Amino acid sequence: MKRNPIFCAIDTGDADLARSLVAQVSALVGGIKLGLEFFAANGPKGVQELMADVALPLFLDLKFHDIPNTVAGALRGVMTLAPAFTTVHAAGGGAMVRAAVEEAEGRSKILAVTLLTSLGEDDLPSLGVNGGVSDQVRRLADLAIEAGADGLVCSPLEITALRTQLGEGPVLMVPGIRPAGADADDQSRILTPRQAIAAGASHLVIGRPITGQVDPAAALSAILASLETA
């Protein structure tokens, strides 16, 4: 394995715990993912303070979803944090995705979320979605990439189909990763790290299988070892 594809998800609002976790994993990961839980509790200043001495890419996973002008304004506000990747919901529509891409102006790669990995086939009818998960993911993927998104956030089970559909260009940031034998937690569509990389994932987002362990660094080292032949 020539690169480290793992973004460790620091999913906590506790700034002290976040600092401890980052300190334990920063030498072993390819990047840090911060989402709504941390951002809502600590704001942009908290993100700046956490990442100040961390020489790693930041994946700021806030999943913006609003009218185009509002999303552009939100992107303008977080560009000072220099995120390598920022997320929007593809379901916000092509105009919204374009507004995000234009506002980022290459300073951050815009990734579009297709369907949350907590959603399965049984959830779609109640959301008014016709067809299955794979159909909806493909529709939203085409919409986002045509609108200029740099890539997608997708479940492990859609990696192969999206690579076939979109080619090698788009970034595929993949949550829902669980090492062999780990609990699925609230994820419905999962693969092991090695399976996901073999399928064509660009980056893996892994949280609780690392941060929920007594020794996060040891858990991460085990995952990296499993990828050595991927």
Q: Could you write out the three-class secondary structure of 186-205?
A: CCCCCECHHHHHHHCCCEEE
Catalytic residue among 33, 45, 63, 109: 63
Coil, helix or strand at residue 61: strand
**Over the stretch 78-121, which tens digit does the pLDDT of each residue have?**
999 999 999 999 999 999 999 999 999 989 999 999 987 777 77
Q: Pick from 50, 10, 55: which is nearest to 30 by CA?
A: 55
Listed by start position, the domains of the chain span 6-227
Give pLDDT, residue 116: 78
63 catalytic per annotation: yes
**Contact indicator for 100, 71 with CB cutoff of 8 Å:** yes
Burial 47-82 (b: 16+ CB within 10 A, else e): beebbeeeebbbbbbbbbbeebeebbebbeebbebe
pLDDT grade, residue 190 (50/70/90)? low
Judged against a pLDDT cut of 50, whether residue 230 lies above it is answered with no
Q: Pick from 113, 106, 51: which is nearest to 81 by CA?
A: 51
pLDDT grade, residue 2 (50/70/90)? low
Cα of 216 vs its chain's centroid, Å: 19
Identify residue 141 by its one-letter amino acid code.
A
Q: Could you write out the three-class secondary structure of 67-111?
A: CHHHHHHHHHHHHHHCCCEEEEEHHHCHHHHHHHHHHHCCCCEEE
Which of 7-11, 157-161, 187-191 has the least mean pLDDT?
187-191
| pTM for the model | 0.91
Identify residue 157 by its one-letter amino acid code.
L
Report the percent of the chain where pLDDT is more than 70. Answer: 93
The two tokens of residue 42 are: 């600590």
**Superfamily of segment(s) 6-227:** Aldolase class I (3.20.20.70)
- Angle subtended by helix axes 133-146 and 159-166, to nearest 10: 40
